[in-house]
Amino acid sequence: MNEFLESIINRDPAAKSKLSVILTYPGAKAVFFHRIANFFSVAKFDLIARLISQFSRFLTGIEIHPRAKIGKNLFIDHGMGVVIGETAEIGNNVTLYHGVTLGGVSPSENSESQKDQKRHPTICDNVIIGSGAQILGPITIGENAKVGSNSVVTKDVERNKSVVGNPARYTVSGEKSSIEFMAYGVSGEDDSRTARVRKLEQDNELLKDRLSKLEERLRD
């Protein structure tokens, strides 16, 4: 417990003390309740496990399936809206921001055939996933990788890499680029697309103006 609390304080400059983390951090509460729910789930007391997880969801706004496998020192910052699916696996020292989904691709289709199958992602050690990101399907996010805010990831991400956007793409290293990792807000990929659209609109207006002037000259 002490190591867990220290890991949160080390990653959050707003954390003032271990006591404040215990009493006021929903992410810490959610992980604590998950440990209990997972214990009952492994022991085949599924109803008790689900009741505990639902109570935790009501208390924290974070939904973690009792069967999800979570390593040491998971930090769920802010927490509201985080969803972690049944077959998700999370390594050590992972950071998730609010609104993150570790989900399946099509859980409501052919659900019978998906039982006892790996449907959710595996998140390796030291990964950071920005707010609103969706990691979908039985994919792997490699060690030390970063996923930008509001990204949608449906393919494996290599270790030590960063991805942003929808669909998620690797950031460009060693070059000046508007595509960069952001834990909050809209990723650089979206900003880049908006800039291109605005440029096209400006070029279109310029062409209209030139065409109008050409028509006036032809009339004269």
- State how far the Cα of 201 lies from the Cα of 48, in Å rounded to an integer: 58
Question: Secondary structure of the chain: what % helix, strand, coil (to 5)?
Answer: 40, 15, 45
Cα atoms in the Cβ-side hemisphere of radius 13 Å centred on 129: 36
What CATH number does domain 2-185 carry, 3.40.50.720, 3.40.50.10190, 3.40.50.2300, 2.160.10.10? 2.160.10.10
- Bigger pLDDT: 20 vs 190: 20
Of 135, 185, 132, the C-alpha closest to 156 is 135
Cα atoms in the Cβ-side hemisphere of radius 13 Å centred on 28: 20
The tens digit of pLDDT for each residue in 186-210 reads 555 445 565 666 677 778 888 888 8
The tens digit of pLDDT for each residue in 100-137 reads 999 988 766 667 777 778 999 999 999 999 999 999 99
- State how far the Cα of 185 lies from the Cα of 85, in Å rounded to an integer: 24
Helix (H, G, I), strand (E, B) or coil at 84: strand
pLDDT of residue 162: 93
Enter the pTM of the model: 0.77
